Structure 1
């Protein structure tokens, strides 16, 4: 082979190598974009699922709050009943104290204050 043929072969080989690198890099970029789009879709799906679970937790929290509100009302009602009983007992004890003072005054003839 002469000098011109060698340079032609070198040029053709170089062109083939650059073409091959272009095709490989283009295909690699396409595959990479496809995988990234798939990953983006999966992340969006997970985001939707997570939002759904968060809304579910919010619903459960609201239910617990309502239940606590009901228990608070029930406790307040029971405490009101206990307060009424204490008031009744205070009135009875005051009446009993008044009666005992009257007995002491009547029996011994003096006030106990």
Structure 2
């Protein structure tokens, strides 16, 4: 039966440690790459959603402003008619 000596044991420990650190490096770099890609996709999707929301809100504010302008015009006509300001 052949047993390993101290040099062989330390060589195996060193090789195993190097292998583990190499695997850890590869896995962590791939994980970081995937996370960056996902965050970039999420960022572009959120920007698109916010842009759509902004344009929709601007359109609705324009509609409200148009209605308020019409209401202001109608109220001016009512005031002029009520207080006789339209009769010269």
Q: Please tell me the TM-score bracket, short chain as reference.
A: 0.7 to 0.9
TM-score, with structure 2 as normaliser: 0.81
Q: Distance in 1 between matches of 2:76 and 2:6?
A: 103
Pairwise CA RMSD of aligned residues? 1.7
TM-score, with structure 1 as normaliser: 0.65
Tell me the number of residue pairs that the alignment of Structure 1 and Structure 2 aligns.
82
Q: Which residue of 1 aligns with 2:70?
A: 67
- Unaligned segments of structure 2, at least 5 residues: none
Q: Distance in 2 between matches of 1:12 and 1:61?
A: 73
Shift of 1:73: 2.9
Map of 1:48-87 to 2, 5 A cutoff?
Answer: 48-79=51-82, 80=84
Shift of 1:16: 0.3
Q: Point out the structure with the larger helix share.
A: 1
- Unaligned segments of structure 1, at least 5 residues: 85-113
Greater gyration radius: 1
Shift of 1:23: 0.5
The 4+ residue runs of structure 1 with deviation greater than 2 A are none
